[in-house]
Every structure is written in C-alpha cells, then in structure tokens.
Amino acid sequence: MSSSNTPTDMIIAPDVASHRLTRKVVGVDQTGSAVSMSVIEERPLTIFLNSREIVTAMTIGDYPEYLALGFLRNQRMLDPNEEILGVDYDEELETVVVRTAVETDYEEKLSKKTRTSGCAVGTVFGDIMDGLDAVVLPKVAVQTSWLYTLSKKINTTPSLYLEAGAVHATVLCSQDRPLVYMEDVGRHNAVDKVAGWMLSEKQTAADKILYTTGRLTSEMVIKTALMGIPVLVSRSGFTAWGVELANQVGLTLVGRMKGKRFVCLSGNDRLQWDHTNDEDAR
C-alpha cells in the first residue's frame, strides 16, 4: 500500500497517467462529428472481514486496501487500536480480505444495511450513529487564507475529474497543504480511502482538514466526526441534517467553496479572517 510518486508535494495525488483507471471511447458530439474521450472505469470490489463477506462496492480500482480499511473503520467494524494481521488484495477475484487478531460476529450489524443518498449506491449500517454523542472534536482555528489556498491547489491539480469527469474527490489537508488526494465514483469511497490511509499510516486527525467535492450530507458529517477530523470543507452544498449534526459535534462546516467565496454553517467562531483583502475574502 505504498504511496505513488507524485508531481506535487502531496503524499498521494491522482494518477492521471494510469491506463487502468480510464478507457478511451469513441462517439459523436452534438454536430455529429466523431469524438474520442476518456471515461472512468468501474469495477466491483468485495470486502471481507476475516471470513465474513461485508459488502461489494463499485470503485475505480485504485488503493483497494485503503478503501477496505477505511470502509470497515468508518462503519465501526474496526477499532482504531485493532490488531490488523494483514490486508490481502486479489486483483483477479476483485476481493480484499482484512484479517484481524480477534474475529468479531457482525451478523446483527449486517442485517441493518441502509441505502444512502450517495453516488454509486452508498451503503451504511443501521447503527453508524452509535457513539456520535460521545464525540467531542477539538476547537481548531481555521485561517480563511488556508481555505482559499486549498481550493486553488485542489482545483488546479491534474485529476481524473479534469481528465474524464464522473468522479468525486476527498482530500486530507494540513493547514493550507493538501496531503492525500483520493478520487472515486462515489464520494463515500473517496473518504473511506482517506480513512484507510490514515489508519494504515497511524496519522493523527485532530489537526487535519477534510475537503470533499461532494454534498455535505449527514453521512459525510458523521464519517468526518468519527474519524476525529474537526473541519470539513466542500465546494458543494449542505443538507439540513448535516448542518444539525455538525453543530452537535462541534465540526466546522464550510460549503459552497468557490474561489474566495464560501458559506460556514457550523463553527464560524473558529474562522480567522487573515486574508489581506477583506473585501475579496468576504
């Protein structure tokens, strides 16, 4: 699960050169002229926890080990201190098996699947909100200049979205630096890959910012909070329940981030207006 070489200062950046992630397809445009364009590949990935099949997700196929670890962690099937004996990916069988020192019976949890509003048919389990009441996120100050710098860096980084579209991105950031940039057909997969990387690399969450291109829904807020990340930013909009939960757990929630425009609906007291041009910044 080593990080790929990247042309930026990111630890992981989108691999736009990978021929495995896109395919050339020929069609016609609105004038009837022939066109050739790149389209995103989709592949099924079945995740096992020890000997138990958990879920099959549609994914672009990169970082399957991180996706499996992050999905299980965000569904609270893996404790942060769980002893993980191995993460085995079989490309031919399109499976990932996460093996732990102690096997746990998740039969009841598996019986309570919930279909989400997410792209590519997201799946969560019925007790995902268990433990949310105990979450207390650190009150981290956020400089507005960080948000502007992150938005520019992320939106101008060569990506599968710019190459072919049809994907969402989730980026783990530290202040104004993007660290790990993950893409997938569903925003839930992208954030799970980030969570898997953090778990695998034993990264701290309390000083991080999570940037997503997807909607700020209840599930995105819950996942971010349970990961321990205190700031969630998106160029997209909000749902009412997402905002309510963000206020409940003390998550700084920034949406509609475009250029030097944004809206903060939770944690606005933690914003530090340090941009030199106040008129542009606001």
How do residues 243-260 score in pLDDT, each as one tens digit?
999 999 999 999 999 989
115 sits in the region (left: phi over 0; alpha: psi -120 to 50; else beta) called beta
Contact between 243 and 249 (Cβ < 8 Å): no
3-state secondary structure 146-197: HHHHHHHHHHHCCCHHHHHCCCEEEEEEECCEEEEEEEECCHHHHHHHHHHH
Condensed to tens digits (0 to 9), the pLDDT of residues 86-117 reads 999 999 999 999 999 998 766 556 655 544 44
Indicate whether 5 pLDDT > 60. Answer: no
At residue 276, the pLDDT reads 53
Percentage of residues in the chain with pLDDT exceeding 90? 77
Mean pLDDT across the chain, nearest whole number? 89
At residue 282, the pLDDT reads 44
Contact between 187 and 168 (Cβ < 8 Å): yes
How many Å apart are CA 225 and CA 250, to the nearest integer?
Answer: 9
pLDDT tier at 48, thresholds 50, 70, 90: very high
Domain 142-281 has CATH 3.20.20.450: no
Q: Tokens 């104004």 label which residue?
A: 176
Residue 18 burial class via C-beta count within 10 angstroms: exposed 0-12, middle 13-18, buried 19 and up: middle
At residue 111, the pLDDT reads 55
Indicate whether 190 pLDDT > 60. Answer: yes
Indicate whether 119 pLDDT > 70. Answer: no
pLDDT tier at 9, thresholds 50, 70, 90: confident
Between the two ends of the chain, the Cα-to-Cα distance in Å is 41
Contact between 242 and 217 (Cβ < 8 Å): yes
Contact between 81 and 67 (Cβ < 8 Å): no
3-state secondary structure 25-68: EEEECCCCCEEEEEEECCEEEEEEECCEEEEEEEECCCCHHHHH
Prediction pTM value: 0.89
Stronger pLDDT, 263 or 74, i.e. the higher one: 263
Query: Which sequence spans correspond to the domains of the chain?
Result: 142-281
At residue 103, the pLDDT reads 80
At residue 107, the pLDDT reads 55
